[in-house]
Amino acid sequence: MHQKILTGDRPTGSLHLGHYVGSLMQRVALQDTASQTILIADMQGLTDNGHNPRKVADNILNVLADYLAVGIDPERTVICLQSSLPALAELTMYYANLVSVSRLERNPTVKTEIAGKQFGRSIPAGFLSYPISQAADITAFRATLVPVGEDQLPMIELTNEVVRKVNQVAGKAVLIECRPLLSKVPRLPGMDGKAKMSKSLGNTITLGSDEAEIRQAVKMMYTDPNHVRIEDPGTVEGNVVFTYLDAFYPDEAYIQQLKRDYRHGGLADSRLKKILEECLQETLSPIRQRRAEVIDDKARLISILRSGTEKARLETEAVAREVKASFGLDVLG
């Protein structure tokens, strides 16, 4: 297990298909080949929910249940809670003195999210600086590999900048750089085809969606507005239904044939959506069943989270002590 993996999610709602195909499938596969930690990033969840903290607190165990439902095994993957790891906040403070405001404002991911949330100049300081918090998370676990979507690549770049600056201050290699691990489908669009699948945009299919919700979501999906009649040639590019079929349907040759038929004309959007719905129902049914089995056992969920967090606390505190010493602040030991 030479690779150390750090990944995680903000608990602001149930995880969705974008999470599943984007990194959850990878995380399940990596359990046997790497030392993996999953961080439930509740403090980062507050960066745009400080006015509504219950939205974060109420979803911590929901997200943990989602992890277990897709196949994350707490015996093989450490699952921990960000707010119960003080070393992460300490590292964030150290790193904040090495990163300028202008550098944060240039981050394309942050710029896009600020525009989408329409903060204007009322940007919470925590939101603007959350890439620094992510750098703290990654380096605290000495992660070498971080599963991310394409939109998170600037975060990896900033993390490695911080690593180099800390090592420069220390005069030796205290921290290590990491590299991203992109998935087969690094960015899954929302059902409307206008943006990535996002809880805040309300264009998601969650892992706990029931049959009726899945059916309705697929029915609403964007296809080709010019494909009015069945015999009309259709466009595959930008067609959300095909994007989801590419991500989830196991028979790639069959999907390629469907694309040829659609481009030629003679394949109805309703037929495509029926194929996709059946695929998603089959994918999510066992996940939904496993989730229902674990979500009501609060004691077990808390026990898993407490055990993983204690393991993580020892690891992150060791890194924080080294960084603290690098800044010469270990006067009292």
For the stretch 218-273, pLDDT in tens is 999 989 998 989 999 999 998 999 999 999 999 999 999 999 999 999 999 999 99
At residue 1, the pLDDT reads 47
Domain range summary for the chain, segments of one domain joined by +? 4-189+298-326, 208-292
- pTM tops 0.95: no
Helices 298-326 + 130-140 axis angle, to 10: 90
Half-sphere exposure in the Cβ direction for 48 (13 Å, CA): 17
Lowest mean pLDDT among 40-49, 110-119, 123-132, 238-247: 110-119
CATH number for domain 208-292, candidates 3.20.10.10, 2.30.30.40, 3.30.2290.10, 1.10.240.10: 1.10.240.10
What is the spatial distance between Cα 221 and Cα 196, in angstroms, rounded to a whole number? 13
Structure tokens at 140: 């605290």
For residues 167-187, average pLDDT: 90
Q: What torsion, rounded to 10 degrees, do the Cα atoms 146, 286, 253, 219 define?
A: -100
Q: What is the DSSP string of 199-246?
A: GGGT---BTT--HHHHHHHHHT----TT--STTS----TT-HHHHHHH
pLDDT at 192 over 90: no
pLDDT at 157 over 80: yes
What is the spatial distance between Cα 222 and Cα 234, in angstroms, rounded to a whole number? 13
Structure tokens at 46: 């507050």
At residue 200, the pLDDT reads 63
Instruction: Spell out the CATH class of 4-189+298-326.
Output: alpha beta
Report residue 18's pLDDT band, with 50, 70 and 90 as the boundaries: confident
